Amino acid sequence: MKKNLNPKHALLGTAIIVFIGALVLSILAAVTIGAVKVSLADVYRIVLYNVTHIELGDKAFLSSGTIYEIVWNLRMPRVMMGAIIGILLAMCGVVMQATVQNPLADPYILGISSGASLGATFSIMIGAASVFTGVLATMSTAFWAFFGALGAMSLVMILSHMGGGRVTSAKLVLAGCVVGSLCSAFTNMMIYIGKDAENMKSVTYWLLGSMVSARWPKLLLPGACMGIGVLFFLTQMRNLNTLLVGEEAAITLGVDLTRWRRIYMVVTSLLSAVAVCTCGIVGFVGLMIPHIVRGFAGSDHRFLLPLASLSGGIFLIWADVLARIVLKNTEIPLGVITSAIGAPIFVYMMVKKSYGFGGGER
């Protein structure tokens, strides 16, 4: 007989299963919502046919035509993209917070998003494609965003290694802030000197994040990265827990802190760079979701990591639904929605006594 060692674990284990169910249900529900009215039956017949090839009705209707295009080639990839990006961002947030042992860490604080913004703005405003020729001309905004994110990440790593000594979390966070402000300054300068109103609009749109461009082929990279990331971090949960108790304690508990910190930084940076270059900057998910989940699940990564990742996916699916339906005939940028929801929740948690951002009661 297997004795239940910790009743809280059983509860949280159940929660993981419930959250997986909620994610699936969210995907199925979100695909029915949109500007064009499509009956529930039609939506699910199309989804069912394209997933399992079970024909319920006219095959031509299920695999071609406007309704098919909307449901299967617009909405479905978009919902899936929301789930994937949400999982990626929340997962990166959790791991980054553990890695730098700072509850405020997320892709923003560590400069990665700012680097991506700079790259994307550069590409759009300067018209990177028209300045360069050959291979460089064919590179898309996403490529430049990824490039920018990697550049920012490398700079943060170099800065925090400078001056010798151990890489401390304080150094990492400060270096992140420095690189972040630097990138923002250049981004703003480019927006300021930019003349083309159309470009300006697309930069703003990119900076605020959006799932509009989601199509099946575009899911491949973030989807694969999410899969690899999830598998990798599932094996790292014990190390992550140990990292949270401090740099010295981690070493005395047998974790090679310097090595693992470097590995986690590189992996999360790559993952968030992929997320940011695919969908622009979707704020608050990487910061807020881990905190909310930590509020009820505690700091144990064996539960925190899966629960936060799933919550991130669910949250972003519904945030994107709101982005689609709140205003008639136009979309609200996703970043606006996530921040508008995120900020008040964050304030609530700040005011609420029982949650000290992982810092206990003050």
Partner 1 sequence: MNIEVRDVTVTLSRKDIVKDVSLKVREKAFVGLLGPNGSGKTTLLKSIYRVLKPASGVILMDGEDMKTMTYRESARRMGVVSQFNNLSFDFTAMEMVLMGRSPHKRALDRDTEEDYRIAEEALRRVDMLSFRDRSFLTLSGGEKQRIILARALAQQVEMLILDEPTNHLDIKYQIQIMDVVKSLGVGVLAALHDLNLTLMYCTYVYVLKDGRIVAHGPTEEVITEQLIRDVYEVDCSVVRDARSNKLNVTFFSRM
Binding site for partner 1 (CB under 8 A): 3, 5-6, 97-98, 101-103, 235-239, 241-242, 244-249, 251-256, 294, 298-300, 356, 358-361
Nearest residue (CB) to partner 1, 213 versus 299: 299
First to last CA, the chain: 42
Nearest residue (CB) to partner 1, 5 versus 40: 5
Find the shortest distance in angstroms from Cβ 253 to partner 1. Answer: 5
Nearest residue (CB) to partner 1, 308 versus 319: 308
Nearest residue (CB) to partner 1, 26 versus 241: 241
Nearest residue (CB) to partner 1, 194 versus 298: 298
Token pair recorded at residue 115: 């680097």
Find the shortest distance in angstroms from Cβ 259 to partner 1. Answer: 9
- What is each CA distance from 121 to 212, 288, 332, 339, in whole angstroms? 18, 26, 20, 21
Longest CA span, the chain: 72
Q: State how far the Cα of 35 lies from the Cα of 330, in Å rounded to an integer.
A: 9
Q: Are 272 and 90 in contact (CB under 8 A)?
A: no
Find the shortest distance in angstroms from Cβ 23 to partner 1. Answer: 23
B/e letters for 206-243, b = 16+ CB within 10 Å, e = fewer, are bbbbbbbebeeebbeebbebbeebbeebeebbebbbbb
Nearest residue (CB) to partner 1, 201 versus 238: 238
User: In which region does residue 280 sit, left (phi positive, over 0), alpha (psi from -120 to 50) or beta (all else)?
Assistant: left
Find the shortest distance in angstroms from Cβ 261 to partner 1. Answer: 13
Q: State how far the Cα of 259 lies from the Cα of 269, in Å rounded to an integer.
A: 16
Find the shortest distance in angstroms from Cβ 241 to partner 1. Answer: 7
Q: State how far the Cα of 162 lies from the Cα of 86, in Å rounded to an integer.
A: 34
Find the shortest distance in angstroms from Cβ 97 to partner 1. Answer: 8
Nearest residue (CB) to partner 1, 93 versus 151: 93
Find the shortest distance in angstroms from Cβ 200 to partner 1. Answer: 40
Q: What is the dihedral of CA 296, 300, 301, 306, to 10 degrees?
A: -30
Q: State how far the Cα of 201 lies from the Cα of 213, in Å rounded to an integer.
A: 15
